[in-house]
């Protein structure tokens, strides 16, 4: 019997979707599901939701719920990590404090000042998960959904190299699905390969029944002015390869857009949009809790597209699949730093996950990825070495922050973020440092 632990199971909407997909596989319908969250109300809601999803799906799993992480991980075959350290209050801090300094952000969970500080408060929790796994489920796979993905996978490779960790994100899949809609071809029969870093990978090959679809996309862009008012379409027109995350995300990872109000207006960039998304997530949780208490039937959300259920099914049954996943760059992308976390196609079967070597990226794409990874490397080093100066240096080399703020303001902003997040950060990084 397969045992699957959910860490951060209180993210009930996402947990519900994953469970619905898992229970859709007959081979996983009797799995043991161990739910863990440090918030008792969210944990109780997750448990009630999980039992209802199982009933609706006709599954007969064993479901447990515990605030004790180690108990949830005991004997697990797979650990799905979805933690958001600090919750919505920390997310608000990631936006409101930088905004006081004039720094625009849209999502703030991957790069930039928001991404740096999200990573620093997440690393200690990842270390704890990894330490527990080495003791109570050393052969388990850690399937990470928590952002900032590239930094988190990089961190795990440094502090727990024996843990089998992979980062899962649906951005490549949904990019291709959206582009197929744009050019008017069905997703079925479409083949594609992307590579780079999470939230800034590049669609290197995209075909339908053997036809290169990029010429069709060029025609649509030429015909549609509104398409040309999207950040990643603008990036594609200039770079020649389509980036695999939304325009909101993509605007934060380069120096060209958010610093200039004219660009914000030209490309309709929704500044601070993730704050609204986060509030909506809280509202969805509250509605789920209310509906369960009232004995109402929850809507069954099944995507059949999320990677974790597919990965688990492939590893349990041997059913071969290919996904795009985040792993350590051991000769996978020649012109990105060795040891960094990169996103590449990976095949999955009962022997595990097998990343595919992609050679070199186009030089212009690698250049942007290298800047992205420089921020991640400095952030990881800051936590490894307990050096608050490296935190400031990470912010200094961040494309958006360095284009938007004076260097003194970047240091002052990091001081303000450190004070605001307080004991969510590693103790060694809670001090202010000056040049």
Domains detected in the chain: 3-167 (3.40.50.720)
pLDDT of residue 344 exceeding 70, the answer is yes
pLDDT computed for residue 12 by the predictor = 82
Q: 379-418: buried (b, 16+ CB within 10 Å) or exposed (e) per residue? A: bbebbeeebbbbbbbbbbebbbbbebbeeeebbbbbbbbb
pLDDT of 158-177, one tens digit each? Answer: 999 999 999 999 999 999 99
| Neighbouring residues of 283: CB distance < 8 A, sequence distance ≥ 6 | none
Would you say 258 and 98 are in contact if contact means Cβ atoms under 8 Å apart?
no
pLDDT of 10-59, one tens digit each? Answer: 888 889 999 999 999 999 999 999 999 999 999 999 999 999 999 999 99
Phi–psi pair at 230, nearest 5 degrees: -115, 140
Q: How far apart are CA 304 and CA 286, in angstroms?
A: 25
Residues at the binding site for Mn(2+) are 169, 199
Q: Of 309, 321, 330, 324, give the one whose Cα is nearest residue 350.
A: 321
| Neighbouring residues of 257: CB distance < 8 A, sequence distance ≥ 6 | 231, 251, 263, 264, 267, 269
pLDDT computed for residue 302 by the predictor = 65
Q: Of 423, 434, 341, give the one whose Cα is nearest residue 380.
A: 341
- The pLDDT confidence band at residue 299, using thresholds 50, 70 and 90, is confident
Q: Of 195, 305, 179, give the one whose Cα is nearest residue 246.
A: 179
Would you say 81 and 308 are in contact if contact means Cβ atoms under 8 Å apart?
no
Q: 132-164: buried (b, 16+ CB within 10 Å) or exposed (e) per residue? A: bbeebbeebbbbbbbbbbbbbbbbbbebbeebb
Residues at the binding site for substrate are 147
pLDDT computed for residue 144 by the predictor = 98
Q: Give me the active site residues, please.
A: 170
CA distances from 326 to 9, 107, 198, 356 (A): 22, 20, 7, 11
pLDDT of residue 257 exceeding 90, the answer is yes
pLDDT of residue 303 exceeding 80, the answer is no
pLDDT computed for residue 434 by the predictor = 87
Q: How far apart are CA 176 and CA 190, in angstroms?
A: 9
Q: What percentage of the chain carries pLDDT values higher than 70? A: 99
Least confident of 92-106, 252-266, 277-291: 277-291
Would you say 112 and 251 are in contact if contact means Cβ atoms under 8 Å apart?
no
Q: Does residue 148 have a cis peptide bond before it, meaning omega lies within 30 degrees of 0?
A: yes
Please, what is the average pLDDT of the chain?
96
* Residue linked to tokens 């004076």: 406
CA angle, 50 then 54 then 60, to 5°: 120
- The pLDDT confidence band at residue 305, using thresholds 50, 70 and 90, is confident
pLDDT of 163-220, one tens digit each? Answer: 999 999 999 999 999 999 999 999 999 999 999 999 999 999 999 999 999 999 999 9
pLDDT computed for residue 300 by the predictor = 82
Q: How far apart are CA 53 and CA 67, in angstroms?
A: 21
* Residue linked to tokens 């679809």: 213
Q: How far apart are CA 106 and CA 108, in angstroms?
A: 6
CA distances from 255 to 104, 368, 377, 378 (A): 12, 10, 19, 18
Least confident of 43-52, 296-305, 341-350, 423-432: 296-305
pLDDT computed for residue 68 by the predictor = 97
pLDDT computed for residue 271 by the predictor = 96
Residues at the binding site are 147, 169, 199
pLDDT of residue 289 exceeding 80, the answer is yes
pLDDT of residue 321 exceeding 70, the answer is yes
* Residue linked to tokens 């051991």: 330
| Neighbouring residues of 82: CB distance < 8 A, sequence distance ≥ 6 | 6, 7, 8, 9, 11, 14, 15, 145, 146
């Amino acid at each position: 019997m397969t045992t699957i632990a959910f860490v951060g199971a209180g993210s009930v909407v996402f947990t519900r979707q994953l469970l619905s997909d898992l229970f859709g596989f007959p081979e996983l319908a009797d799995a043991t599901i161990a739910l863990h969250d440090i918030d008792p109300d969210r944990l109780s809601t997750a448990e009630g939701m999980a039992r209802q999803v199982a009933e609706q799906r006709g599954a007969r799993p064993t479901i447990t719920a515990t605030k004790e992480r180690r108990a949830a991980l005991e004997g697990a075959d797979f650990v799905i990590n979805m933690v958001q350290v600090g919750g919505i209050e920390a997310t608000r801090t990631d936006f409101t404090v930088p905004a006081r300094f004039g720094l625009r952000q849209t999502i703030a969970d991957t790069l930039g000042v928001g991404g740096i500080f999200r990573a620093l408060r997440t690393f200690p929790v990842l270390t704890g998960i990894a330490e527990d796994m080495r003791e109570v489920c050393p052969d388990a796979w850690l399937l990470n959904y928590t952002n900032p993905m590239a930094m988190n996978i990089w961190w795990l490779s440094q502090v727990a190299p024996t843990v089998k960790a992979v980062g899962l994100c649906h951005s490549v899949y949904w990019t291709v699905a959206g582009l197929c809609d744009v050019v008017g071809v069905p997703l079925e029969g479409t083949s594609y390969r992307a590579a780079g870093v999470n939230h800034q990978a590049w669609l290197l090959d995209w075909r339908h029944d053997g036809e290169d679809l990029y010429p069709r996309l060029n025609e649509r862009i030429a015909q549609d002015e509104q398409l040309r008012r999207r950040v990643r379409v603008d990036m594609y027109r200039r770079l020649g390869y389509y980036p695999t995350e939304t325009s909101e995300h993509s605007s934060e990872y380069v120096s060209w857009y958010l610093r200039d109000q004219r660009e914000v207006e030209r490309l309709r960039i929704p500044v601070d949009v993730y704050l609204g998304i986060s509030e909506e997530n809280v509202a969805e949780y509250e509605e789920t809790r209310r509906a369960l208490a009232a004995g109402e039937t929850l809507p069954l959300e099944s995507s059949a597209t999320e990677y974790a259920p597919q990965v688990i099914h492939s590893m349990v049954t041997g059913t071969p699949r290919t996904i795009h996943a985040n792993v350590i760059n051991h000769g996978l992308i020649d012109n990105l730093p060795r040891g960094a976390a990169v996103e590449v196609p990976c095949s999955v079967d009962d022997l595990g996950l097998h990343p595919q070597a992609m050679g070199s990226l186009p030089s212009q794409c690698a250049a942007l990825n290298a800047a992205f990874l420089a921020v991640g490397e400095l952030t990881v080093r800051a936590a490894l070495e307990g050096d608050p100066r490296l935190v400031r240096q990470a912010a200094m080399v961040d494309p958006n922050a360095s284009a938007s703020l004076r260097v003194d303001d970047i240091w002052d902003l990091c001081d303000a973020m450190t004070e605001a997040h307080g004991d969510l950060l590693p103790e060694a990084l809670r001090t202010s440092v000056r040049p």
